[in-house]
Amino acid sequence: MSLLHVAILLPFVAALLIPLFYRWTKKLHTGWLALPIPVALFIYFLTFIPKTAQTATTATLEWIPRYGINFTVVLDGLSLLFALLITGIGSLVVFYSIFYLGKNKERLNNFYAFLLIFMTAMLGVVLSDNLIVLYLFWELTSISSFLLIGYWYHRERSRYGARKSMMITVFGGLMMLGGFLMLHIMTDSFSIREILGSASSISENVFFIPAMILILLGAFTKSAQVPFHIWLPDAMEAPTPVSAYLHSATMVKAGLYIVARFTPLFAVSGVWFSVISIVGITTMLWGSINATKKTDLKAILAYSTISQLGMIMTLLGIGSASLHFDSMNDNIYVAAIVAAMFHLFNHATFKGSLFMVAGIVDHETGTRDIRRLGGLMRIMPITATIAFIGTFAMAGIPPFNGFLSKEMFFESLTEIIHLNLFNLESWGIILPVVAWIASVFTFVYSMMIFFRTFTGKTKPYLLPKKPHEAPLGLLVPPSILALFVVGVGLFPNLIAAPLLEPAVKAILPTLSHASSFHIHISFWHGFTPALLMTIGVIVFGILLYKTQRSWKPFISSKVPKALRIGKAYDNGMFYLEQGSYRLTMYVMTGWLRTYLNYMLFAFIVLVLGTLFITDSLNFDFANLTQITLVDGVLAAVIFVTLIGIVFSRSRITSIILLGAMGYTISIFFVIASAPDLALTQLVIETISVVLYLLVFYHLPQFSNIEEKPKLFSTKTLLSIGVGVTVTLIALSAYDTTFYDSISKYYIDNVYKEAAGKNIVNVILVDFRGFDTLFETAVLAIASIGIFGMIKLRLTKRRKKNENE
């Protein structure tokens, strides 16, 4: 196991140990036990920056090599960028949560265990090279986020949000698994690196487009793209540290990672470009408009996250067009991939700080409702400063980092109408127009967050708590992120070469050998269309912010129920639950005979289906033993006793006839020279008849209410079906062999290996000794259980008699 494997699994191991150490460290906040893990991992991944710029680091741990499933990890530029965000912001979130969550009021052992499990899951997603291993970590992110979102499980809204996120993201994960399996069918490999190298050879495969759509479904559900965005606002019921971690820097970025990772494979198809670009730009517009409707700080930030994720998704879609050009170094669409990676980093910094600011405001005032807030700048100046930096960066205003990536976004869009690809010269103008409108609303909700919260008059009479500045522990993490916002905004090239270049080269492999490819980010590019778009965003954004009362009623009007995606989800879940309940009540009758009918029906379908599918219905009667008169008489006796059992109205008569049938069958064994089987059959039949008579003696006679035997009924059809199936199995088995018989091995080794001459006894006792041992153990356990129930019943009866 390499250090990379240890780095992935270390948080999970720590999560298992925290509940153990929690008992002995009650005087110490549990967060201090968890904090060293992400800090150490962040420092560890920092050491890979110089290495990753040159080559990727790989390590393999064999797991199921026979099926090509190994725990192979690859640390290249793309996965390193994500790993640094996961561990770096994870460290700040853990530190923040120490001061946010009360030591005596919360179940901190659960919280940090869930958080560290989630960290392992995210690291596994971004570092795994094997599709199946990636999927396992992918679903672990859904499970751990479910636990974190529902952390305050006593709140109904928390439980609802956790279930909603779980249902939608797990659905997407299952779809993605289907896409992964299709990739395996096409390439005969689970290795992402090998699959990416097969792009040209599988692009015409019939499974190529279906695999692409299924994988995109997984990415869209996890990254909250329309129409799967509905889970993210409800996930805001989680504690603020969870929101700052999962919904700004990590979980919601997992879908972006998948899109970026598989761009070299699927970008050869125009479907990839079209679907990602259209879904992304729609999500950006939808999220930005809905954010302006909200009054809760975390709700605004939730919809703003949806919008920003849509922006990055659009950039990845536009950037995929670069793979259709021979010369990529000077192509504007490479800049779109650069902008995507740059804004992914920027969004994690300013959105993480803003979520923490929202938590501080809630922690110190008791509310997040901007209608109750105002004038907090005078009371909480440090918090206000951090909020100012974060909101203005999100709005795309210089000199913050969000301005730079927003400019690059606009530049990519303004060039798209000149792209002689996918008919963009005709409909491509829609993308920059929609993006500009979405950016105007982004400016508006950014101003709402800052000015409605921190400027104006204070409203102490509307606040549950007297506001005051947050303690230092709550201010340090968002302050560090705010410093990144300012520092990267002023000196963007500090991260260009070490972080962005390797990430872009990992997405566009043809650049890895282009020595002339370098990223240089600067503020001033002249009076470009992108700059004019930014100026327009600021001017119209200020105008819309000042005139909110005039236009808000139009966008706040109720959407018809038929068009509400969230309502459709609720209705779908309601009908699904009702339907499953009714089906369960219909199927689970409580009668054992009903369940036996299900099993017999399944037996008939599965066995007969297998016989037909495997072409095993082969009948060869040439070597069968001749049927004698004695055989015919015995068969007639069995048939008569069978009819008697079915139509008898007395349980005693049915039991006796059943015993007679068993004894008759034992005669067949004698005729076939199988005395051991005959003896066993006689013993079993004798014991069975005696036990049946003892038990059924205490039962009442058949009543007239009970169902009378019918000639044609479900039971009749099932009986005939089972009989025909077993008969066909017996006849087919006589002339159908898939493997060499093992009987020759037993014949040759019974005496030599086990020193026994009775082949049946030796097989049961020696060659299949464990099987016999376990069967004996099952009988012993059943006997103990029966004895215990009889003993319990006798004890109760004895106590009842004593009381009387």
The tokens describing 157, both together, are 């809204």
The answer on 800 and 723 residing in a single domain is no
The answer on 498 and 379 residing in a single domain is yes
Res 349 pLDDT > 80: yes
The answer on 763 and 709 residing in a single domain is no
pTM, entire model: 0.82
Polymer length in residues for the chain: 804
The answer on 562 and 437 residing in a single domain is no
Is 521 within a domain? yes
The answer on 398 and 536 residing in a single domain is yes
Where among 720, 738, 756 does a domain terminate?
738
Is 603 within a domain? yes
Q: Which of 405, 433, 444 is nearest to 289 (CA)?
A: 444
Q: What is the pLDDT of residues 65-102, one digit of tens each?
A: 888 899 999 999 999 999 999 999 999 999 999 999 88
Is 282 within a domain? no
List CB contacts of 310: < 8 A, sequence separation 6 or more: 225, 226, 279, 280, 281, 282, 283, 284, 285, 286, 287, 438
CA–CA distance, 390 with 467 (Å, rounded to integer): 21
Residue 564 neighbours by CB distance under 10 Å: 14
- Measure CA 292 to chain center: 31
Query: CATH number of the domain that 726 lies in?
Result: 1.20.120
CA–CA distance, 150 with 353 (Å, rounded to integer): 23
Cβ-in-10-Å burial (0-12, 13-18, 19+) of 574 comes to exposed
pLDDT of residue 499: 93
The answer on 580 and 451 residing in a single domain is no
Res 114 pLDDT > 90: yes
The answer on 334 and 406 residing in a single domain is yes
Give the mean pLDDT of 299-322: 92
Q: Count of domains in the chain?
A: 4
Is 758 within a domain? yes
At residue 58, the 3 state secondary structure works out as strand
The answer on 602 and 574 residing in a single domain is no
Higher pLDDT, 733 or 430: 430
The answer on 660 and 747 residing in a single domain is no
Is 414 within a domain? yes
The answer on 749 and 620 residing in a single domain is no
pLDDT of residue 566: 82
Contact 190, 136 (CB under 8 A): no
Where among 738, 757, 774 does a domain terminate?
738
The answer on 572 and 673 residing in a single domain is no
Give the mean pLDDT of 647-670: 85
Q: What is the pLDDT of residues 268-297, one digit of tens each?
A: 888 998 899 999 999 999 999 999 999 999
Q: What is the pLDDT of residues 424-456, one digit of tens each?
A: 666 778 889 999 999 999 999 999 999 999 998
Where among 718, 738, 758 does a domain terminate?
738
Is 41 within a domain? no
Domain extent at residue 766: 741-804
User: What is the C-alpha R_g of the chain?
Assistant: 35
The answer on 425 and 537 residing in a single domain is yes
Is 511 within a domain? yes
* Mean of per-residue pLDDT scores for the chain: 87
The per-type count for the chain, helices as H runs and strands as E runs, is: 36, 2
Contact 69, 132 (CB under 8 A): yes
What is the DSSP code string of 88-127?
HHHHHHHHHHHHHS-TTTS-HHHHHHHHHHHHHHHHHHHH
Exposed e or buried b per residue across 774-798, where buried means at least 16 C-beta atoms within 10 angstroms of its C-beta: eeeeeeeeeeeeeeeeeeeeeeeee
Is 574 within a domain? yes
